[in-house]
Amino acid sequence: MAFTQAQASQPTAGSGLARQTSGINTVPAGTYSELYVSELTPQYYSLMKQGKIFSLASATTTTATAFTGGAAGTPIFGIYNPATSGTDIVILQARVGVRTTGTTAATLDFAFWSVNQGGVAVTGTQTQCRNMYSQANTGSVAYGMVNTANTAALASTLIAPSISLGNVTTTAGLNAGVLVDDVKGAIVVAPGVYLAFGSTATLAAASIDYSLIWAELAQ
């Protein structure tokens, strides 16, 4: 395939990228000016280095209440983006580590639910979100909640199914490893919006680890 050169715009100040001060910035491109990508650093490294990636996690959760979008429900994770934050919460990954499925599980199925709160803040018991670079529980605009009633959350709509193992044997110890829903930014929690990640069935006496990872980007 033939190669051409495509002129690239200079990085903006404060972007964390080295700024070229002379010459023409060019990158390899195809005959239709489509860019060829070469990743010199891991996928999320630049965002991580700038302190823009955060997470919520729940270790060895033994009980997850069924959540199917009901108002003020109890999903595994709830995230509310305050209406005045000026920041988009961009979901990157959901991770589920199954140790045992518990005593009442017939299905193991998770999904994302969301609603615009219309100015009504969600006020369930807050868990501080963790910065994935500094490992400090500071700096996030998100109001995070873990396996607790999401007080004042409106009824939400299913926006995306997530990880599912279908039917499972009760008390089974699954050799499945870590299950990853690689969302890659396909779900965005805009200011004023509430997002829930929950199990569609109640899981009693299960031993499961969960995490939700996202980037926070100014609008």
Domain match, 172 and 189 both:
yes
Amino acid (one-letter) located at 144: G
What is the radius of gyration, based on Cα positions, of the chain? 20
Q: What is the pLDDT of residue 177?
A: 67
Q: Which helix (H) or strand (E) holds 37?
A: none
Q: What is the pLDDT of residue 122?
A: 97
Domain match, 84 and 182 both:
yes
Task: Give the pLDDT confidence of 187-202 residue by residue, as tens digits.
Answer: 999 999 999 999 988 8
Domain match, 62 and 22 both:
no
Domain match, 135 and 96 both:
yes
Task: Enter the pTM of the model.
Answer: 0.81
Q: What is the pLDDT of residue 97?
A: 87
Domain match, 25 and 126 both:
no
Domain match, 100 and 163 both:
yes
Q: Could you say which residues of the chain have pLDDT below 70?
A: 1-29, 36-39, 103-106, 166-177
Show the DSSP H helices in 4-63 as ranges: 45-49
Q: What are the residues whose beta carbons fall under 8 Å from the beta carbon of 147, sequence distance 6 or more?
A: 58, 61, 63, 64, 65, 74, 75, 76, 77
The parent domain of residue 50 ranges over 45-218
Q: What is the pLDDT of residue 67?
A: 95
Domain match, 76 and 12 both:
no
Number of domains in the chain: 2
Structure token digits, residue 89 = 């919460």
Q: What is the pLDDT of residue 178?
A: 78
Q: Is 49 helix (H, G, I), strand (E, B) or coil?
A: helix
Q: What is the pLDDT of residue 171?
A: 58
C-alpha 54/C-alpha 64 separation (Å) is: 22
Q: What are the residues whose beta carbons fall under 8 Å from the beta carbon of 85, sequence distance 6 or more?
A: 141, 191
| Cα atoms found within 13 Å of the Cα of residue 142, Cβ hemisphere only | 34
Q: What number of helices (H) and strands (E) belong to the chain?
A: 1, 12
Domain match, 119 and 25 both:
no
Q: What is the pLDDT of residue 69?
A: 97
Domain match, 174 and 200 both:
yes
Q: What is the pLDDT of residue 156?
A: 98
Domain match, 156 and 201 both:
yes
Domain match, 94 and 28 both:
no
